[in-house]
Amino acid sequence: MMATNGREGDRDAPETLPVTSVRGVIDRSSPVPYHHQLKALLRDEIDSGRWPPGMQIPSEPELCRMLDVSRTVVRQALGALEHERLLRRRKGRGTFIAEPKIRGRLVQSLTGFHDDMTAQGRAPRTLVLHQELVPANRTVAERLGIGIGTTVVAIERVRSVDDEPIVLTTTYLPADLVPGLETIDLTDRSLYQTLADHFDLHIDRGHRSVESIAAGDEVAARLELEPSDPVLFLRSVTYLADGRAIEYYEAWHRGDRSVLEVALLRQPSEPEGTSTP
């Protein structure tokens, strides 16, 4: 199920900005290195909104001619902006203004992707790739606290925002807690809301872990990435109020388009006279 590449600058094939669009000039009398000056000029174009997300910027030769600087200066400036995630280079296509990252809440509230995006005023979309009953493997069984081979509902989905794939998720739920879930259409629907509406099951708490990994071939294809591009890999187990595990999922978030927010809560101080072993 290979996907066509639809990343920034590819879907609508935006035209390169005119070389006259960069405002300002390199100050030859300034002690500030040329590449720092060029970086500041280009960043001003981005921060001001004159170069909007997804727009292709002038090529390296065009920037050289426009500002009368060397290829080395241009490459240093572009490399620094790419490192700051303000630019994205596409091999054989050019350099584009990076889209703003999609925010996801990691621990401050236990919500799903659909709820997170809706709260931000975005239009989430869900493509269900697989939704079926399968026997739990060892990892799924251990996370859900059930026996190996126990029947679970497995759901694989690609979640998109503004028609761009952002996260691939594979979710497992004990089939005896959600009879018939495998037949419910989850296209563009919140799983947590479905659990509440159809089964009167309400998520109470959960545990999530996150790490940065390189995308494998399948994940890259689903998310329209290049193999080995960075992704944020999440594992999560959620529980009902009575302590039963209701959901285990694995999710691969595009590293270039995702930022996971974390809220830190200060625990109350221990009473005087107590100590930590």
Q: Do 179 and 220 sit in the same domain of this protein?
A: yes
185 within a domain of the structure (yes/no):
yes
Structure-model confidence comparison of residues 84 and 175, the more confident one: 175
Which pLDDT value is given to residue 104? 47
Mean pLDDT of the chain: 79
Q: Do 69 and 109 sit in the same domain of this protein?
A: no
Could you tell me the CATH number of the domain that includes residue 116? 3.40.1410.10
Q: Do 79 and 107 sit in the same domain of this protein?
A: no
270 within a domain of the structure (yes/no):
no
11 within a domain of the structure (yes/no):
no
Range of the domain at 230: 102-261
- Rounded distance between C-alpha atoms, residue 122 and residue 80, angstroms: 30
Q: Do 113 and 136 sit in the same domain of this protein?
A: yes
Confidence of residue 262 (pLDDT cuts 50, 70, 90): low
Residue-wise pLDDT tens digits, 168-194? 999 999 999 999 999 999 998 889 999
Domain end, chosen from 74, 97, 120, is at 97
Which pLDDT value is given to residue 267? 55
Find the mean pLDDT for residues 17-46: 80
The tokens for 78 are 């572009």
- Rounded distance between C-alpha atoms, residue 266 and residue 256, angstroms: 31
Residue 239's DSSP bridge partners are 205, 245
Q: Do 43 and 136 sit in the same domain of this protein?
A: no
Full-model pTM: 0.60
Residue 2's DSSP bridge partners are none
Which pLDDT value is given to residue 240? 93
Q: How many CB atoms lie within 10 A of CB 127?
A: 15
Reported as half-sphere exposure (CB side, CA atoms, 13 A), residue 119 has a value of 12
Residue 13 has pLDDT above 70, yes or no: no
277 within a domain of the structure (yes/no):
no
With residue 254 as reference, give the H or E element that holds it: strand 245-254
Give just the sign of the alpha carbon dihedral 115, 199, 147, 134: negative
**What total of structural domains would you count in the chain?**
2
Could you tell me the CATH number of the domain that includes residue 51? 1.10.10.10
Return phi, psi of residue 143, to 5°.
-70, -35
- Rounded distance between C-alpha atoms, residue 181 and residue 158, angstroms: 18
Q: Do 67 and 115 sit in the same domain of this protein?
A: no
Q: If DSSP codes are grouped into helix, strand and coil, which group holds residue 252?
A: strand
48-62, 114-128, 187-201, 218-232: least confidently modelled range: 114-128
45 within a domain of the structure (yes/no):
yes
Q: Do 77 and 122 sit in the same domain of this protein?
A: no
Q: Do 90 and 115 sit in the same domain of this protein?
A: no
175 within a domain of the structure (yes/no):
yes
Residue-wise pLDDT tens digits, 226-245? 888 888 888 999 999 999 99
Q: Do 169 and 92 sit in the same domain of this protein?
A: no
193 within a domain of the structure (yes/no):
yes
Q: If DSSP codes are grouped into helix, strand and coil, which group holds residue 218?
A: helix
- Rounded distance between C-alpha atoms, residue 49 and residue 146, angstroms: 53
The tokens for 170 are 């594979």
Which pLDDT value is given to residue 194? 94
161-175, 208-222, 248-262: least confidently modelled range: 248-262
